[in-house]
């Protein structure tokens, strides 16, 4: 009976996407565990100021307890420990912007910061933009929906985070200012013109609130 149930679970609930995720998560944990054990013999307490691994992060308004290696980037933690896979890893070199998240409202590259550096900060990912109670989209998301800005949209979460930072700071940008504000994100489909339409529409929505 139990066997039949679990078999059923596998068939219905285990999509390809979830399976791949779990394999990646296991891989990440296994390899990182190796690195940690393989590191120097100094314990976490040996040097004043060295970090504890079990920490609390504030992600999308929620307190999340999570076990984080000292050498782990925020994008890794978000994707493979907290399952917030809206944050994409493109280049992993601060060169493409797909991993852009907001740290205390400021857009930064999640691939190029250590999770332990943002313990006290408020982290916002693409998953945290909609209203948590009603599911209503944020103004920027609404603008992207209206303007249909992206083709493959792998870069979209990063762009949307940068747009969010932009409209919060300057809801009245010129098109050139918007381009400058989004110049840290790449779109390989080359959809920049439509993406700028989204940014200008988002600013327009922000002004009308």
Nearest alpha carbon to residue 68 among 128, 59, 9, 60 = 59
Among 60, 87, 138, 162, binds another protein (CB under 8 A): 162
- Residues whose CB falls within 8 Å of the CB of residue 40, separated by 6 or more in sequence, listed in order: none
Segment interacting with another protein (CB under 8 A) among 14-22, 47-55, 57-65, 130-138: 47-55
Q: Going residue by residue from 172 to 201, which x/- string records binding to another protein, judged by CB under 8 A?
A: --------xxxxx-----------------
Under 8 Å between Cβ of 123 and 58: yes
Q: Which is nearer to another protein, 50 or 62 (CB)?
A: 50
Name which position in 107, 138, 141, 197 contacts another protein (CB under 8 A).
107
Taking alpha carbons only, the member of 198, 184, 31 closest to residue 106 is 184
Residues near 37 by Cβ (< 8 Å), separated by ≥ 6? Answer: none
d(CA 54, CA 37): 16
CB of 115 within 8 A of CB of 180? no
202 binds another protein (CB under 8 A): no
Nearer to another protein by Cβ, of 91 and 137: the residue is 91
Q: How far is the CB of 40 from another protein (least distance, A)?
A: 6
Binding residues for another protein, rule: CB under 8 A, are 28, 31-32, 35-36, 38-40, 42, 47-51, 69-73, 76, 89, 91-95, 97, 100, 106-109, 111-114, 116-117, 162, 165, 180-184
């Amino acid at each position: 009976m139990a066997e039949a149930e679990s078999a059923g679970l596998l068939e219905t609930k285990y999509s390809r996407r979830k399976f791949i995720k779990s394999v990646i998560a296991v891989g990440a944990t296994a390899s990182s565990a190796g690195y940690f054990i393989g590191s120097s013999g100094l314990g976490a307490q040996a040097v004043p100021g060295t970090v504890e691994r079990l920490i609390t992060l504030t992600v999308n308004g929620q307190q999340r307890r999570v076990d984080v290696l000292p050498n782990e980037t925020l994008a890794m933690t978000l994707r493979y420990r907290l399952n917030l896979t809206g944050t994409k890893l493109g280049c992993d070199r601060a060169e493409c912007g797909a991993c852009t998240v907001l740290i205390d409202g400021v857009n930064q590259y999640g691939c190029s910061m250590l999770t332990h550096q943002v313990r006290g900060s408020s982290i916002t990912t693409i998953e945290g933009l909609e209203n948590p109670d009603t599911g209503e989209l944020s103004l920027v998301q609404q603008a992207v929906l209206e303007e249909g800005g992206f083709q493959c949209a792998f870069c979209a979460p990063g762009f949307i985070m940068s747009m969010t930072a932009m409209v919060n700071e300057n809801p009245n940008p010129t098109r050139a200012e918007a381009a400058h504000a989004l110049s840290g994100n790449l779109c390989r489909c080359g959809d920049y013109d439509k993406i700028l339409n989204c940014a200008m529409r988002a600013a327009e929505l922000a002004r009308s609130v």
